[in-house]
Amino acid sequence: MANLTFNEKKLIESVFGMGGGLVLDFTNREFGEFMQDVVQYDIYEKYSGLSKAKMLREFIKDEPDAYVGKAIVLLINYLNDNALVKDDIKGKSDKLYEIGKRLLGKSTNSKKQNSNKSAKPSVDYDSLKESLLNIEKLTSPQTKGYEFEKYLNSLFEAFELEPHASYRTEHDQIDGSFNFEGNTILIEAKYKSKEIPKDDLILFESKLKSKSHFSKGLFISYSRVTGEALNYFQDSGSRIVVLTVEEIFLMCQNKIPLTTLLQSKFRLLDEKGLIFKHILELNID
């Protein structure tokens, strides 16, 4: 059972509009898909015959802090991504987001976070940069791709993003995933010198659409994406952003946290529909 006070439970009811058996604007299908991003079971099967709001209440009562915190963070992200945060609940949703992070085990004290930025996490940027340069010294394209995949796992591990290795489903190959701000981000990685055509991005987008309705993706490329591809995806409602090896190198060189870079890129996607903007154009401090 999640460690929530009575007032915190009432806050959940208010922010997620749970009056009348609803949860936000979810249809039954969407709510089922959403909750499978949180836990690996069918919530409609476990809580058969209940309304969406009652299912969420039972879920909060039955599940531990981590799962409930993940559900809260993902629901707040859904609110923000779909511009559903009204002025009268803005302060409440911000407060609830901090509660979700607390349940996930993340610090919610901003002053404490600011005072301990240098210690959390401790990242060896020089080692990450050197490892990236070593990949380029390899001669076999296949070996480069294999070592790059291992490098990405160590990169996400360094920033405590809980990476998963590549895996194959019945229909496609996924190059890995990681956890970012309560979301599972799927990865597509290409270590090729030629510019990335739009068809590669379209294929990755189709992989996302075959998964959860809420999946997002990070396309990591050695080379840049063609201008045609960027124009094709402009304001397309895409759920992917592009990160280049050059940007990873500059990130390490300037000791910019990967989390900060990803926040900027996904925010740009949400606000302006852009799948790529170079790190030097993002005005990251």
- Find the mean pLDDT for residues 183-205: 89
- Residue 182: predicted pLDDT: 80
The answer to whether residue 124 scores a pLDDT higher than 70 is yes
Q: In which region does residue 20 sit, left (phi positive, over 0), alpha (psi from -120 to 50) or beta (all else)?
A: left
Tokens of 132: 């990236």
| Top-confidence residue, 130 or 183 | 130
| Top-confidence residue, 271 or 167 | 271
Q: pLDDT (tens digit, 9 = 90+) per residue, 272-282?
A: 889 999 998 98
Q: For residues 21 and 23, what is the distance between their CA atoms, to the nearest angstrom?
A: 7
Of 59-73, 201-215, 259-273, give the lowest mean pLDDT range: 201-215
Q: pLDDT (tens digit, 9 = 90+) per residue, 43-55?
A: 999 999 999 999 9
- Percent with pLDDT over 90 in the chain: 44
Q: pLDDT (tens digit, 9 = 90+) per residue, 212-269?
A: 767 789 999 998 888 888 888 887 788 899 999 999 999 999 999 999 999 999 999 9
Domain extent listing, the chain: 6-114, 125-281
Q: For residues 185 and 161, what is the distance between their CA atoms, to the nearest angstrom?
A: 10
Q: pLDDT (tens digit, 9 = 90+) per residue, 125-143?
A: 999 999 999 998 988 888 8
Tokens of 101: 């992070």
- Tell me the CATH number for domain 125-281: 3.40.1350.10
The answer to whether residue 184 scores a pLDDT higher than 80 is yes
Q: pLDDT (tens digit, 9 = 90+) per residue, 18-36?
A: 988 999 999 999 999 888 8
Long-range own/partner contacts, residues 34-37 (CB < 8 A, 24 or more apart): 34/74, 34/75, 34/78, 34/212, 34/213, 34/214, 35/59, 35/71, 36/212, 37/74, 37/183, 37/184, 37/212, 37/214, 37/215
Q: Is the dihedral of CA 45, 51, 57, 61 positive or negative?
A: negative
In which band, very low, low, confident or very high, does the pLDDT at 145 lie, cut at 50, 70 and 90? Answer: confident
In which band, very low, low, confident or very high, does the pLDDT at 169 lie, cut at 50, 70 and 90? Answer: low
Of 48-62, 107-121, 140-154, 185-199, give the lowest mean pLDDT range: 107-121
| Top-confidence residue, 167 or 248 | 248
What's the CA dihedral at 278, 186, 97, 99 to 10 degrees? -130
Determine how many CB atoms are found less than 10 A away from the CB of residue 246: 16
- Residue 111: predicted pLDDT: 37
| Top-confidence residue, 169 or 281 | 281
Tokens of 160: 């405590």
Pairing relation of β-strands 240-244 and 177-180?
unpaired
pTM, two decimals, is: 0.60
Q: pLDDT (tens digit, 9 = 90+) per residue, 69-120?
A: 889 988 998 888 888 888 777 889 999 999 988 887 654 343 344 434 433 4
